[in-house]
Structure 1
Amino acid sequence: MQAFAQRQAVETINLLNQAIERDTGYTEAHLKLGQVYEFTRQPEQALEAYQRAIRQQPDKPSSGLAYQFVGVYLLKRGQYSQVIPYLERFSKFFAPHSAQGKRVERLLQTARFGQQAIQNPLSVKPQPLPAAVQAYPSQYFPVLTADEQTIVFTVLKPEGDEDLMTATRQAEAWSAPVSLAANINTVRNEGTPSLSADGRTLVFTACNERNGLGSCDLYITKKTGNAWSDPQNLGAVINTSGWESQPALSADGRRLYFVSDRPGGVGRRDIWCSDLGDDGEWKKPYNLKTINTPFDEASPFIHANGRTMFFASDGLVGMGGYDLFMADSTANGWSNPQNLGYPINTADDQAALFVTANGTRAYYSHEEAGDKQRSKLYVFDLPESIREKIKPVSYVKGIIADAKSKKPLNATIELIDLATNQVVTRVKSDSETGQYTAVLPSGGEYALYVQVPGYLFKSLSFDFTQKREGEALALSVPLEPIVSTDKGGPKSETLNNIFFETGRFDLAEKSRTELERLVQFLQQNPKVQVEIAGHTDDRGDAAANLELSKKRAQAVVNYLAKAGIPATRIRSAGYGETKPLVANDTDENRRLNRRIDWRIL
C-alpha cells in the first residue's frame, strides 16, 4: 500500500503477487492488483485479477469494484454472453430503484440486447470506397448529393487540421479528393458537413473561429456555378455560447437538424431542429424531446424523404456506447427509435450514417485500430428489413433555360402535394448553369412548378401512388418568355394538373393547385390576356368530343373569373380531337392528348 501511494506501480504489482503466492485466497490482494492494472492501463491483466477476486468472494459487497470493471470491460469487447452472469449477480447488491441498481440494470439490458442481436445478424457486407478517395489517414462523416455523383467528407490531416474535401464520380470511378474551397477550409478545424440534395447548399461545423459565438458553431455556404460563397455564421438563433455541431439539412435545405448542449434540453447533448422562414431567416430551434434521452445523442441525418431520421445515441438500449437508430416523423410526432441491429451496430461507438435517396445504400466511416488510428469510408447495401421501413424518393434533375435563347435561368421549382395543396419541396436552379435537382417523394400525386418572372410557368405532373422504388428522372425545362420575339407569340403550355372525370367537365378538387397558380400568374402580369383551350383524344364521337373540350375550357375560365380575373383578359376555346400532341395509338398517348392548354394572346 505504501508503494501504491507513492505511485510505484511496478513495485506494487511485485509485492501484491508475492502476497498472492503466500495465500492464493487473499481476495483483497487480487482486488488491489486489479486496481493497479487499471491504473497502469493493462486491462487484460486487470480483468484476470478481478475475475479471481469474484470467484473467491462472489457475494461480498467488497467485490463490487471488480464486478463494475468486469461488466463494463466485457461489454466494450462485445462479450455479451460472458458478461450476463456477472451483471446478474452484481445487480443483487443494490435495491432495484436505487441509482446504482438502475445503472447495473441498464448494463444488463445492453448485454441481453447485444446477445440477441448477434444471434440474429443482418446481411451486411460493407465495401470500402475506392483507394483514390481514401487519400488521408482518416476520413469520416461522408454526405452525398441525391444523384450520388458528389461526395463531401471530413479529413484529418497529419498536422492535426480537419478540412472538408470533395470528390466526384464519373460512371463508377471516383476522382481523387480535393479541398472543397479555399474560402471554406482554414488552418482551424472544419468538419461534419451536410449537403442539400442538389449539392448547392452546405452547412458545416467550425470551431474556435474568430467570429464564432461558442466553442463550435454552424456555418452555411452556397454554391453558384463552381464557386462557394464565403461561409456565414448561422447567427445567434442557431448558435449559442455553448457547442453546436453535426448539422443535417433536409433535401431542399429548408430544415436543419443539429446537435447542441444548450440549456433546455433533455440530456447533455441533444438533437434540435430549426425551419427556414419565408423571409430567409432561421426560426427558433426546438428540441426533439421524444428522440432525445438523458444521455447523449449525436450525428443526426434526415433522409431525402424528409421523414426518416438516422442518428446515434448512447441513451437508448443498444450494443454498448453509441448505436445507430432510425425514427419516422409522423402526424403524431416521432415514432419510437429502432436500433439498426448487428453488424451495423457493434460494441464499438457508431458515428454516423448517410442513406441514399432511393433507400438502397448507406455510406459511413469506420475506425480501424492499428499502429495509428485510421478511419475509412465504406458503403453497403441496406438489408431488406431496413429498406422496407424507408419511404424512398425519386429525384428529377436537369437544366432550366430560355426556350428561345437557351440562356440558363434562375428559376424557383416547387413541388406541391395535390392531396393537401402543401409545398413539399422548394428549390432554386443555379443562376449560372440553370441546373437544378428536386426530390420527388413516392406514394402520392404531385405537381411540379417551374417559375421565372417574365416567363410562362411550366407545370408537370407526377403520379407515384402505385410506385415504391425511387427512380431518377432527367428533365430539362425550356421556359417560354411572356413577351416573345416570334411573330406568332409564345407557344402554348399544357396545364398538366387539371383533372376531370371521364366524359365530364366539372373540375376535380385536386385541380385547385394548378388553378390557383394560373390565377397567381395572371394577377402578377395584369396586362396579359390568355386563351384557355380544351382538347380530347379520338375516342367517341367527334362532335361530342368538340363539345366536351369547349365545356372543359369554359370550366377553367369560370374558375378564373370567380377568382377576380376580368373577363376581357380570358377566353375559352375547344378543339376536340383536331389538335393531338401525339398519335392516338396508345393509352398513354391518348392521356397526353386529353389536356387543357393556355397561351398568351
Structure 2
Amino acid sequence: MSDKTIVKFLLFILLVGVQVFAAAQSKDLKLSSSKKANKYFDDARIAYRNGDMQSAADHLSAAVEEDPRFKEAYRMLGVIYFERMNEPEKSIESFERLLELDKNYDNQIYLSLGEAHFYQGNYTKAKSVLKDFLSRDATEAQHQWAALLIKNSDFAINARENPVPFNIKKLGPGVNTSEMEYFPALTADQEILYFTRQKGYGKYAQEDIYYSNFIDSNWSNSRLVDEPVTTDYGNEGAHTISPDGKFLIFTSCDKRDSHGGCDLYITKKVGDDWGIPKNLGPSINSGAWESQPTISSDSRALYFVSNRKGGFGRSDIYVSYLGEKGFGKATNLGSVINTFADESRPFIHPDNQTLYFASNGHPGLGRADIFYSRADGLLWGEPVNIGYPINTVGEEPGIFVSTFNNIAYYSSDIEEEGNLDIYSFVLPEEARPAPVTYFKGKTFDAVSKKPLQASVQIVDASNGKTVNETFTDPVNGSFMLCLIEGKDYLCNVSKEGYLFFSENFLLGQHDISEPYIMDIPMKKIGIGRTIVLKNIFFDSGEYELKEASLFELDKLKRLLEENPLMKIEIRGHTDNVGSETDNLTLSENRAAAVYKFLVDNGIGQAQVSYKGFGENEPIADNETDEGRAKNRRTEFTIMEM
C-alpha cells in the first residue's frame, strides 16, 4: 500500500470516525452505573445526530461530572472536541483523563491524542504519544499515519527553532470592518484592492466582492463591485483580478447556468463598468466544486481549485491554458503540487514562475500551511514551506504577493475577535518571486487627443517571441502589462489607419521598482508623418542590422503591404560624436540597410527610398548621453499616399 493510499484511507477513517463511533453507541457500550450520567450520554448522542456539537459536548461534560469514571463519555467528548469542534486543547484533556482511567482502553486513543497534541502545537509531546502508539497493536495504515505525524512534528520543531522574519500590518478601516474580509487581490500597479466580504453567518451569510483604491498612502473606503457582478440573490467571492485590472474571475454557486455546485465566472471591465459575467464553461467547470482562481500575468494560464473526481486528494489545483477558442480543458497540476489531502488558494505571481498555495498534505506545522513552488520550464519544483511564524498550528489562508515590492497580503483572525481581516507583511527573502515591473499608459489620437483602442504587443528581444499582448480600453485607452526582470523587450502599438508606435525596455539597465508609465500618441497615416523606429538596432559605429531589429522591420514591411500606394523615405541620423563626414556615411549606410531588407523581402523599389542626414538634424541636445541617444535614430517619413 503506497503512502498516499494509506493516508487517503486514514483520512477516510478520521472523517467518518465520529459517525462510526456514534453508530456504535447502540451496542457494546460501556455505560455508567449512574442513570443520570447515562441520560446525559443519551442526550449527547441525540444532539450529535442533530448536528448540535456544542449541546452534545455540554451533555457529555455533565455526564463525566456526574460520573468521573465514565470512559465512553470521555472518549466521545474527546472525539467531538477534536474532529468536529476544532478544539484540540479540550480534546487532550478528555483523552488524557480516559487513559488515566484505563491506559489500554483503546489503542486508537493514543493516535487521536497524538494528533490533538500536534494540532495544538505540542510537537514534542505529540512525538512521544505517537511513538507509544507505534509500539501498540494497530493497522499498518494507522502506524503509517502516526509515522507521518512524527515526521511532521520534527519538521515543525525545526521550523520553530529557525523562524523567518514576520512583521504584519493591518490594512486600514477603509478595508477592514466588523464583518469578515478575505481573498485579497491587487492589480499590478497595486492601486486597486479587490476582496471578498461576508455579511452575516450560517444560512444568512452573504458573500460579495468589494474594492478599495490606494490614495495618498491609504486604502479608501471600500465599495461594492456592483451589478451585474454582485447580486442580491447569490454569493459571489473567492475571486482573482487579472494584473491589468480588466478581468475579474470569481466563484458563484447554484446559478441557473451552473454546471453543478460552484462554478467560475469571468467578467470584463470596459471603462469603469463591468460586463455581464459569463460561465467559463465545461472545459473548466464540472459537476463538482470549482473555486479560488488565479491567472497569470499574460492571461494565458488560469489556475483554480476543484474537488472533482480523478484527483490526488480531496481538493486539487488545476490549470487551463488559453487557446484560440478560449480556455482549454483543465488538467491536474500533478503530484508534485497536489497531495492526498487538500490543496487550495493558489496564487500565481506575475513572474509566471512562482506559485503560492495552501496545503495540509505537505510537511507542515498544523492544519494547513502556505507553500511556494518555482517552475522550471513546464515542471513545478518541490514545494517549500514558507516557514514559521507565517505558518502556525492553524489553517493558513493562502497569500497574494504584490508585483514588485515583495509585499504579501492575507486574511487572519489574529486579534481573535471571530472575524477575518486583511493584513500585509514583507515576504522572507527565500520566498520572494522574480522581480517584475509593469508598463502602463493610455493610447490616444495625437491630434484630437481622444482615447483610442489599439493593440499593444510585447516581444522578447532575444528571440522575437511575443510574451504579452493586449488591446487598450475602448473607452479610455488605458492598458497595463507586466515585464519580468532579466530580459529586454520590444513594444509595438498599432491601430488600423494609424502609424505604429515602437518602444523598447532594457530591464538590465532599469530599476525594477520603477514602472514604465507612458501615454502613447497615435499618428494617423498621412503625407509628411514621421515615425522613429526605436526597435531598429546596430552595433556602435556599424550598419549591419542586429537580429533584434527583425520584429520592427516586419511591422514596417506589413505596413507597406497593407498600404501599396504609400511611399516612404528611410532616414538615418547620428549624434555629433566623430567626424561629420563619417557620421553622414554611417547614417546613409544604416538607412540603406533598412531599405535593402524591405526590398529583399518583397517591397518594390518604387515604394521606398533612403537618405542619410548624419548629425545635421538632431531632435535633442548633443551635450548629454540621453540626448545623443535620441539623436542616433532611424526613422521613416511618408512621402506620398
TM score, norm. by length of structure 1? 0.91
Determine what percentage of the aligned residue pairs are the same residue: 36
Partners of 1:98 and 1:579 in 2: CA distance: 85
Q: 2:221 aligns with which of 162, 167, 176?
A: 176
Residue 227 (str. 1) matches residue 268 (str. 2): no
Partners of 1:43 and 1:398 in 2: CA distance: 53
Partners of 1:211 and 1:479 in 2: CA distance: 42
Residue 475 (str. 1) matches residue 475 (str. 2): no
Partners of 2:595 and 2:162 in 1: CA distance: 63
Offset at residue 206 of structure 1 (A): 0.5
1:174-233: CA deviations, max 9, x gaps? 221111022111121100111112211111010111111110111111111111101111
2:130 alignment partner in structure 1: 87
Q: 2:64 aligns with which of 13, 27, 43?
A: 13
Give runs of aligned pairs for residues 180-199 of structure 1, distance below 5 A.
180-186=225-231, 187-199=233-245
2:528 alignment partner in structure 1: 489
Partners of 1:593 and 1:263 in 2: CA distance: 63
SS of equivalent to 1:6: helix
SS of equivalent to 1:374: coil
1:374-399: CA deviations, max 9, x gaps? 01011112223323xx1111112121
Residue 434 (str. 1) matches residue 477 (str. 2): yes
Offset at residue 43 of structure 1 (A): 5.3
Partners of 1:92 and 1:507 in 2: CA distance: 76
Q: 1:33 aligns with which of 74, 89, 97?
A: 74
Offset at residue 44 of structure 1 (A): 4.2
Query: How many residues matched?
Result: 579
Residue 583 (str. 1) matches residue 634 (str. 2): no
1:163 alignment partner in structure 2: 208
SS of equivalent to 2:125: helix
1:93-113: CA deviations, max 9, x gaps? 479x93222211221122111
Partners of 1:195 and 1:39 in 2: CA distance: 39
Partners of 1:45 and 1:225 in 2: CA distance: 54
Offset at residue 400 of structure 1 (A): 0.8
> Cα gap change, 1:370/1:393 in structure 2, threshold over 3 Å: closer, same or farther?
closer
Partners of 1:521 and 1:94 in 2: CA distance: 80
Q: 2:258 aligns with which of 192, 212, 216?
A: 212
Partners of 2:88 and 2:235 in 1: CA distance: 33
Q: 1:516 aligns with which of 526, 549, 554?
A: 554
Partners of 1:168 and 1:380 in 2: CA distance: 19
Q: 1:464 aligns with which of 467, 483, 507?
A: 507
Offset at residue 11 of structure 1 (A): 6.2
Q: What letter matches 2:212 in structure 1?
A: A
Q: 1:247 aligns with which of 282, 293, 300?
A: 293
Structure 1 contact 362–381 (Cα < 8 Å) conserved? yes
SS of equivalent to 1:241: coil
1:375-434: CA deviations, max 9, x gaps? 1011112223323xx111111212110111101011111111011211111122111111
Residue 379 (str. 1) matches residue 424 (str. 2): yes
SS of equivalent to 1:513: helix
Residue 408 (str. 1) matches residue 451 (str. 2): yes
Residue 131 (str. 1) matches residue 164 (str. 2): no
Structure 2 contact 372–431 (Cα < 8 Å) conserved? no
Q: What letter matches 1:182 in structure 2?
A: E
Which is further off, 171-180 or 8-17? 8-17
SS of equivalent to 1:276: strand
Partners of 2:608 and 2:107 in 1: CA distance: 86
Structure 1 contact 34–47 (Cα < 8 Å) conserved? no
Offset at residue 248 of structure 1 (A): 0.4
SS of equivalent to 1:377: strand
Partners of 1:176 and 1:6 in 2: CA distance: 52
> Cα gap change, 1:305/1:45 in structure 2, threshold over 3 Å: closer, same or farther?
closer
Structure 2 contact 180–419 (Cα < 8 Å) conserved? yes
2:164 alignment partner in structure 1: 122
Please identify which structure carries the higher helix content: 2
Q: 2:352 aligns with which of 283, 297, 306?
A: 306
Q: What letter matches 1:317 in structure 2?
A: P
Structure 1 contact 75–83 (Cα < 8 Å) conserved? yes
Residue 261 (str. 1) matches residue 307 (str. 2): yes
Give runs of aligned pairs for residues 52-71 of structure 1, distance below 5 A.
62-71=105-114
2:365 alignment partner in structure 1: 319
Offset at residue 261 of structure 1 (A): 2.2
1:490-520: CA deviations, max 9, x gaps? 2x22211211112211111222222222223
Partners of 2:511 and 2:118 in 1: CA distance: 40
> Cα gap change, 1:66/1:592 in structure 2, threshold over 3 Å: closer, same or farther?
same
Offset at residue 45 of structure 1 (A): 4.9
> Cα gap change, 1:104/1:251 in structure 2, threshold over 3 Å: closer, same or farther?
same
Offset at residue 67 of structure 1 (A): 1.6
Q: What letter matches 1:144 in structure 2?
A: L
5+ unaligned residues in a row in structure 1: which ranges? Answer: 20-28
Offset at residue 10 of structure 1 (A): 5.3
Structure 2 contact 180–421 (Cα < 8 Å) conserved? yes
Structure 1 contact 368–374 (Cα < 8 Å) conserved? no
Residue 76 (str. 1) matches residue 119 (str. 2): yes
1:284 alignment partner in structure 2: 329
> Cα gap change, 1:503/1:302 in structure 2, threshold over 3 Å: closer, same or farther?
same
SS of equivalent to 1:459: strand
Q: What letter matches 2:330 in structure 1?
A: P
2:154 alignment partner in structure 1: 112
Partners of 1:45 and 1:501 in 2: CA distance: 74
Offset at residue 167 of structure 1 (A): 1.2
Which is further off, 232-241 or 31-40? 31-40
1:499 alignment partner in structure 2: 537
Offset at residue 589 of structure 1 (A): 2.3
